[in-house]
C-alpha cells in the first residue's frame, strides 16, 4: 500500500471513533496484530488527538465550558474536530467554521447566543495572532487633516482589527462568564433586543482588547475597513445622524491605535 493511501486511511480511522474501520483489507492487514482489531490498536492515537485538539480549543474558547459545562464543551468540540479536522499544522486559525457548526448543533439549540460568543472569542484570538503593523500617529493625522481639502482621505484599519454585530449582549455576557467573581447579583441580558450590539476587537499593544460601539461608529469603521474613503463613509453616517462628532470619533480610535498608516490618494 502506498504511503499516501495508508495515511489517508489512518486519518479517516482516527476521526471516526466507534465507527467501522475506514481502511480497506490491505490497511487492516497492516494494522492487525495478535488478533487485536484495528479500532482497538488505534484507540490510543484517537484519544490523544481528540483530547489534545479539544483541550487546546477549550483553552482558546473558554466561554463554551463557562456557559455549557466541561462535558458539553468536550462533546461539542470532539464532534466538530471529527467533522472539520485541521487542514494544516498551524492551529492558530483553526476553528473559523465552529460558529456555523454550533448553530446547527442540536444540544446547543437552547443557547442561540453561543455562536456569536464563539465568534467574539475567535476574533480576540485572531487579533492576538495578527501581524504587526504601524498605527496611525498624531503627526500622520495632522497631515491628513491638512490635505483633506485637496485629497481623498483613506483610513485603513490595522490587521488586528475586526468588527462584530449581534442581537445578543455578547460583550456583557462574555465579561460575566469569565469574571472571577462568582454569584454576582447583576446578570447580563441574553435575550434578543430591538437593537444590535456592536463590538470592536483590536490590539493596541501586545494584548487584544474589545469594546462596544454606537451604530454610527460601527458603520463608519466598517466602511473604512471595506476601503471606502473617509469623506464618503462619513457622508453616509451623517444621513442618519447629523450630530455625529467626527473629532471625538477620531480621537478615541486614535488612542485605541486601530488605524494603520493612511494612504492618501489624489483625486483625479
Structure confidence by residue, pLDDT tens digits, 183-222 = 454 455 555 556 899 999 999 999 999 999 999 999 999 9
What residue segments make up the domains of the chain, in order of their start?
Answer: 1-111, 133-268
Residue 136 has pLDDT above 50, yes or no: yes
Using pLDDT thresholds of 50, 70 and 90, give the confidence band for residue 44: confident
pTM comes to: 0.82
Average pLDDT over residues 19-45: 65
The pLDDT assigned to 16 comes to 67
Average pLDDT over residues 37-44: 74
Query: Could you give the maximum distance between any two Cα atoms of the chain, in Å?
Result: 82
Higher pLDDT, 39 or 245: 245
Indicate the fold that domain 133-268 takes in CATH: Outer Surface Protein A; domain 3 (3.90.930)
Give the integer Cα–Cα distance in Å for 206 and 51.
29
11: left (phi over 0), alpha (psi -120 to 50) or beta: alpha
Share of the chain above pLDDT 90, in %: 53
The pLDDT assigned to 185 comes to 44
Radius of gyration, alpha carbons of the chain: 24
Sequence-distant (6+) residues with CB within 8 A of 101 are 80, 83, 84
Q: Which residue has the cell 489534545?
A: 52
Residue 114 has pLDDT above 60, yes or no: yes
CB atoms within 10 A of CB 58: 16
Sequence-distant (6+) residues with CB within 8 A of 54 are 73, 74, 77, 78, 81
Using pLDDT thresholds of 50, 70 and 90, give the confidence band for residue 181: very low
Convert the pLDDT of each residue in 9-24 to its tens digit.
Answer: 777 777 765 555 555 5
The pLDDT assigned to 156 comes to 92
**How deeply is 27 buried, as exposed, middle or buried, from its count of CB atoms within 10 A (0-12, 13-18, 19+)?**
buried
Average pLDDT over residues 59-80: 93
Lookup: cell for 26: 490491505
Using pLDDT thresholds of 50, 70 and 90, give the confidence band for residue 142: confident
Residue 124 has pLDDT above 70, yes or no: yes
Give the integer Cα–Cα distance in Å for 80 and 69.
17
Amino acid at each position: 500500500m502506498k504511503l499516501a493511501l495508508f495515511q489517508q486511511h489512518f486519518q479517516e480511522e482516527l476521526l471516526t471513533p466507534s465507527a467501522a474501520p475506514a481502511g480497506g483489507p490491505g490497511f487492516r492487514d497492516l494494522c492487525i496484530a495478535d488478533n487485536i482489531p484495528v479500532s482497538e490498536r488505534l484507540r490510543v492515537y484517537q484519544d490523544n488527538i481528540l483530547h489534545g485538539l479539544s483541550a487546546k480549543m477549550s483553552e482558546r474558547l473558554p466561554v463554551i465550558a463557562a456557559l455549557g459545562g466541561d462535558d458539553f464543551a468536550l462533546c461539542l468540540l470532539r464532534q466538530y474536530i471529527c467533522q472539520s479536522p485541521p487542514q494544516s499544522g498551524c492551529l492558530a486559525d483553526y476553528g473559523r467554521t465552529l460558529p456555523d457548526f454550533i448553530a446547527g448543533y442540536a444540544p446547543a439549540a437552547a443557547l442561540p447566543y453561543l455562536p456569536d460568543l464563539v465568534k467574539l472569542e475567535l476574533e480576540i484570538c485572531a487579533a492576538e495572532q495578527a501581524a504587526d503593523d504601524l498605527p496611525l500617529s498624531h503627526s500622520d493625522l495632522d497631515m491628513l487633516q491638512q490635505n483633506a481639502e485637496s485629497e481623498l482621505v483613506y483610513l485603513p484599519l490595522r490587521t488586528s482589527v475586526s468588527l462584530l454585530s449581534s442581537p445578543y449582549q455578547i460583550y456583557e455576557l462574555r465579561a460575566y462568564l469569565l469574571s472571577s467573581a462568582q454569584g454576582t447579583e447583576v446578570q447580563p441580558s441574553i435575550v434578543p433586543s430591538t437593537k444590535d450590539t456592536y463590538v470592536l476587537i483590536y490590539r493596541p499593544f501586545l494584548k487584544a482588547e474589545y469594546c462596544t460601539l454606537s451604530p454610527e461608529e460601527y458603520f463608519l469603521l466598517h466602511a473604512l475597513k471595506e476601503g471606502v474613503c473617509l469623506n464618503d463613509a462619513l457622508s453616509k453616517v451623517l444621513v442618519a445622524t447629523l450630530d455625529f462628532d467626527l473629532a471625538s470619533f477620531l480621537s478615541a480610535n486614535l488612542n485605541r491605535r486601530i488605524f494603520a498608516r493612511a494612504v492618501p490618494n489624489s483625486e483625479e
